[in-house]
Structure 1
Amino acid sequence: MEGAVMKVVRYTACHAKEWDAFVEKAKNGTFLFLRGYMDYHSDRFVDHSLMLYDFKGKLAALLPANEVRNEGGAKVLHSHKGLTYGGFVLGRKCHTAEVGEMFRAVADYLCENGFRQWHYKQMPTVYHLLPAEEDSYWLWRMGARTEHCAVMTAVDLRNKERHTASRKKTYCNKLRREGYGVEIGAPLADFWQILTDNLRERFDAAPVHTFEEMTFLQQRFPENIICCTVKSPDGTVVGGTVLFITHRTVRTQYISASPEGKRTNALDFLMLALMEHFSEFPQYRYFEFGTSMAKDDTAINEGLVMQKEGFGGSCVACRSYVLEIQEPTNNQ
């Protein structure tokens, strides 16, 4: 790769087809990086996504990103703040040395365009189709500092010996005997009111997505965004979840229960049923529960982590880094 030069191009709408085609074939691409997902909230972010081309003019990587101004008014590039994770989206034949060229090329581009910082949110490894941790090495080489580390919990669906807390099994068996049931592919409206009521009452908050936005995204990505509910014997919905399904990972994007659902531990029943369901499909490796951070976003919510670990889950680190942009990096 010696002498190779990466060309950095800012994404515009005319690149949409090329962008999406690359995501579909990338070794760490998910539907969240498709423009049909990224652009649904384009009114909230100043998109500054980048496309990197190698010395032969072939698209080599994507960087989903947006720009902001810090308190001092300086330009800052963020891994797209409308997405759960970010970082470079890489081709399957990408070489480790190439990723170093990508980091240097983007840093030089940012310097030339007046940026002073680059906030890089790394993709958790459970979303990699192939090993794709080249960025970990080059972040270290580039002198990036760790800005944040969150704790995510994921269950390995292939681990048939995973430990499930006995009380969860007890709740599950009890509800099954009583006639509770799970609907996979339930109407979103059946669950959304439970979710919004819970968030309002417990945190005086609302879902990140509006009902209209989630309905729109579900219609656009029907294979990737699925609502699942648990119903009492009389057919009343007492809890549910919205799943974001990627190539090999199933994520509980939203999860909530009604008062009756909480009293009966209906969500334990739902989660165990869903893990059993997706275990039957060999393409799915992980069932992922999201992060479990306390209000200060530094300490972990130990009770929540233990609850998730009770399903047989274990920790996946979600790291974010900061690179200071001061001068061209050609000699680094």
Structure 2
Amino acid sequence: MEDLLRIDTFAYNGAYTYDDLEFALTHCRRFTIMYGPGVLETTNVRPLHGPGGLWSEPSHPGGHGQQRLFMRPTMRAPSSERNRRAQRLLALNRQAATEAVPTVFYRLLAYLFQHDRLDKSYTTNPDCLENKVLPMICVNNAETAVIRVLGSNEDVMCDVCDLVLPAAQYQADFLENHTVPCPRCSESQGRRSERTAPILQPAVTMLDEIPDSQNIFQSMADDSDVLLLVGIPCMEPQLETLVKDMARMARQSDRRVVYIGLELLPKSGWSQIVDVHLRVDPLHWAERHLEKLVATSHESRNGLEALESVRPGCVVALFQSHLPSSSSSLLRFPSS
């Protein structure tokens, strides 16, 4: 308990160090985590959102056209060039995800699941890389362990009859820029020709379809101490609203909210809902935090007291793009 009091003293004097915060996070009982493309390494797997994300693809290969590629309305027509191009991009992403190795963040996720320290995990990544790590240790299927906020790249669906099928089944068609009519609708009464049947579409959320936060987070567990927002660039206003809503819900249930990533968060929009902003590379943080968890042998002490001194409305920003030494300090910015 002396160490916890020492952290409180440092925070009170404005000399709150990275190691102090790591100590607090290491000894929290349970977490809720929401993560995004910041947990991916630079590979051929393209994120749905953020820098280089599929959402930002122009509707025309040459960059022309006013509409973005990943919008649903014009994807209903079987002859839609946009639909074929979107399907091919997602097929390439599925192929890349199959070959990709999960990063250290996924090992951290698996460790927390294994030791019953993760209440619930939400991801805005549709690539399903966690499936390579979680099924080996989870009692439940990884599909129930991780809630995919923006859908799954492993499925295609018909938005008429709600049929869901494995995308791998039609991978070759998508890579060849062929659309696939819904087999159920093709066989149903009144569907005499496959050409008139609705097509199978990617089971990922389009840019204009981001769901209502209440429908996603209503089942958020009540017994976690901290909500971690890891590697989620909020470049799209709809996604930013979704992340903020989750943070507000966590704050209303007396959780601390920690945002981990190199993104700059405007103080005016985030200072009332984020307790701590660690401006570090999410993968560097995950590697160090996993080492800390293993080293402490899962001690039962609770480090939440270390966060109590960061009063609501303050943002703590780490001004290094790499993990600092124990002497590096965090700067506090009181809300206006």
TM-score w.r.t. the length of structure 2 is 0.22
Q: Which one has the bigger strand percentage?
A: 1
TM-score w.r.t. the length of structure 1 is 0.23
